[in-house]
Chain A
Amino acid sequence: MSTDTDGEFEFDGSAIERKRLYGKVFLGLCVSAAMVGIVALIALLADVIYESWGWLTWEFLTYPPSQVAEHFDPENYGALDTGPAGMYPAIVGSIYLIVLTAVFTLFLGVGAAIYLEEYAPDSRLTRFIEANITNLAGVPSIVYGLLGLAMFVRALQTGASLIAGALTLTLLILPIVIVSSQESLRAVPDSMRQASYGTGATKWQTIRNVVLPEAVPGIMTGIILSLSRAIGETAPILMVGAAVSMFTPPDLTSPTGAFSAMPMMIFEWASQPDAAFQHIAAAGIVVLLTILLLMNAAAVLIRNKYDRRA
């Protein structure tokens, strides 16, 4: 801002250099902010992998748990009457839980989103519903756990069952799925709808043939990411009453039976005083994280496959 009276052009731009320094400092701050996330993730992964090293075996994936830490130790496998111990029922329980949740979420979430985006009039009521769905997305998961306990386990008499867990998790992720599905539907250009109506298509034909095919990749990505959140949720299934000492996997054909789930097992092991259980919990975490990262990878793949801009 100096008054440059001689009218000569300053080629070295020393006045600009100061401003440029601010820019560099700002860039440095932004880069460190970004690094915090990456460093935290790497530290977490490194720690659990280090802790679980030697404990994560094929037997760990395929055998039921035990109360005794030694049963998990691969060195003792040969000497055990009961056979090795692992988290097989919890892995199966979590997968069943996610499958059921996915089915419920698909119908309820996408159905609600289609109604709100394509059919609902732009009224005060619609906006009220939409605002509340967004609010629901921010409700803590423990509250959904209590709701599931009161509504499904007690009122609907499902007991501490697979279906109660799945319904509770559905309630938990439903708002996120609705909002992300709505966004995918909204992203379908209106010109596509108009083109369809212009050729004499009905509303249903337009939604079925034009809107949904365009929106499905986005909807699927939203659902998978929500499900990978659900599979790691502990509080709701804790409230609903997932079992920690199940020795047989739950049965998908009897969804009112008891169930176990991976986060529940990890929580249980991590709260044991015996130090060996810390390694077992770490092994459980690695299994859970692997499934979770695989689900996220699937979401990314689906998005890339259908993204026409790519």
Chain B
Amino acid sequence: MSDETGDRRTGLRSTLASVGSDRGRFAIGNLLSTNAETTGMTANSGSKAAETTAAERTTDAGADSGAEMSAADRPLGSPRVDDAIIESRDLDVFYGDTQALQGINMDIPEKQVTALIGPSGCGKSTFLRSINRMNDLIDVARVEGELHFHGKNIYDDDVDPVALRRKIGMVFQKPNPFPKSIFDNVAYGLRVQGKDDDIEEKVHQALERAALIDEVEDKLDESGLDLSGGQQQRLCIARAIATDPEVILMDEPASALDPVATSKIEDLVEELAQEYTVAIVTHNMQQAARISDKTAVFLTGGHLVEFDDTNKIFENPESDRVEDYITGKFG
């Protein structure tokens, strides 16, 4: 039993190592990248917040600049990143009397892929949905603490969740295209946001970036529901990126798909990370290892246990529980 586990662990590690070296992604972590210019949301949040997100952070990485992170709830690893676009501070989420998230403190770096992994019911999806305030749609859901987007707490009273969701797109677990034509599906966001000038070009572009254009170019007026599951999910990704948001949240986007469709989605996620910030929830640890730059491990009860570079989490996690989870001892 223990031998077997050991073998599996070694196997996983070597896989990871090879993935890491092959793609040469882990070491990069584009440290001092460009996030000073992207402060569209913060127009009315005051200049103070905008400054803290960009300039100061670069000098003293990991120190307490930017939004404060309380020591008690700090997860293991390095929950602070240099170019954070989203900073969660002591974020609690309750569904009625049940607390689904316990004081989450972590950052999501800009234009990278951040994976949220953990067993079922650990709160990773809840955390994802609190980033674009989709939890607002659930009557009994209640959020405490702060979640900063470009340094502005999105749970402030003056933040309109609809405006927020126009900056932070979402792709859901089960492909959910509208029962409309492929074109109208992609155009939906553009139309509701009033960005419907040059709509044909924008739809075309979104389908191209979602790596779907070759398969649907001749049948844009056919129903989106006639596509295969994997195509539907890429259609949903096209719909999410058509309006050009800054962040794309993905809630287990490949869990309902076969391996071929899954690998297409994974390739796509890596592509998207060049232009967008991607936060992706996944059950599949190999997937997290393959595609993400940072990984957050949530364990039972809504605790964020460890957050760090993906290769650090998978090769040398600080927490024993995280190691057990990753090597498949539970979860």
* Residue ranges of A at the interface with B (Cβ–Cβ < 8 Å): 121-122, 189, 191-202, 205, 209-210, 213-214, 308
B135 to chain A, nearest CB (A): 11
- Cβ contacts B169-192/A at 8 Å (1 or 0 each): 111101011110000000011011
Interface centre among A122, A195, A196 (most CB of B within 10 A): A195
A191 to B178, CA, bound (A): 9
Contact A202 B139 (CB under 8 A): no
CB contact list, B148-162 vs A, under 8 A: 162
- Whether B166 sits at the interface, judged by CB under 8 Å, is yes
- Whether B134 sits at the interface, judged by CB under 8 Å, is yes
- A contact residues around B236 at 8 Å (CB): 195
Contact A200 B172 (CB under 8 A): no
- A121-B139, A308-B225 known; A200 vs B174 contact (CB < 8 Å): no
> What are 12 A-B interface contacts by the 8 Å CB criterion?
A191-B176, A198-B165, A198-B169, A198-B240, A199-B192, A199-B193, A199-B239, A200-B193, A201-B188, A201-B192, A202-B192, A213-B179
A306 to chain B, nearest CB (A): 10
Name B172's contact: one of A122, A195, A202, A214 (CB within 8 Å).
A195
- A198-B165, A200-B162, A200-B243 known; A191 vs B172 contact (CB < 8 Å): yes
Interface centre among B132, B169, B176, B225 (most CB of A within 10 A): B176
Name A198's contact: one of B139, B170, B179, B191 (CB within 8 Å).
B170
- A122-B139, A202-B192 known; A197 vs B165 contact (CB < 8 Å): yes
Number of residue pairs A-B, CB distance < 8 angstroms: 68
- A contact residues around B177 at 8 Å (CB): 195
Name A201's contact: one of B139, B162, B172, B174 (CB within 8 Å).
B162
Interface centre among B132, B174, B188 (most CB of A within 10 A): B188
- Chain B interface size, as a band, is 20 to 34
A170 to B174, CA, bound (A): 41
B169 to chain A, nearest CB (A): 7
A7 to chain B, nearest CB (A): 40
- Cβ contacts B129-149/A at 8 Å (1 or 0 each): 000101001010000000000
- Closest residue of chain A to B165 (Cβ to Cβ) is A200
A209 to B180, CA, bound (A): 10
- A191-B176, A201-B162 known; A196 vs B134 contact (CB < 8 Å): no
- A contact residues around B170 at 8 Å (CB): 194, 198
A122 to B178, CA, bound (A): 26
A209 to B170, CA, bound (A): 18
- A contact residues around B162 at 8 Å (CB): 197, 200-202
Contact B178 A192 (CB under 8 A): yes
A209 to B178, CA, bound (A): 10
- B contact residues around A205 at 8 Å (CB): 192
Contact B240 A197 (CB under 8 A): no
A208 to B67, CA, bound (A): 40
- Closest residue of chain B to A121 (Cβ to Cβ) is B139
Name A200's contact: one of B171, B176, B178, B189 (CB within 8 Å).
B189
A197 to B176, CA, bound (A): 12
- B contact residues around A121 at 8 Å (CB): 139
B235 to chain A, nearest CB (A): 11
Contact A198 B192 (CB under 8 A): no
Contact A198 B132 (CB under 8 A): yes
B229 to chain A, nearest CB (A): 14
Contact A200 B179 (CB under 8 A): no
- Closest residue of chain B to A201 (Cβ to Cβ) is B192
A193 to B172, CA, bound (A): 12
CB contact list, B212-262 vs A, under 8 A: 225, 236, 239-240, 243
A138 to chain B, nearest CB (A): 29
Contact A210 B139 (CB under 8 A): no
- A contact residues around B132 at 8 Å (CB): 198
B137 to chain A, nearest CB (A): 6
Contact B189 A199 (CB under 8 A): yes
A256 to B189, CA, bound (A): 48
Contact B137 A197 (CB under 8 A): yes
CB contact list, B22-65 vs A, under 8 A: none
- A contact residues around B188 at 8 Å (CB): 196, 199, 201, 209
Interface centre among A121, A201, A214 (most CB of B within 10 A): A201
- B contact residues around A209 at 8 Å (CB): 188, 191-192
- B contact residues around A196 at 8 Å (CB): 178, 188, 192
A201 to B179, CA, bound (A): 17
- B contact residues around A198 at 8 Å (CB): 132, 134, 165, 169-172, 240
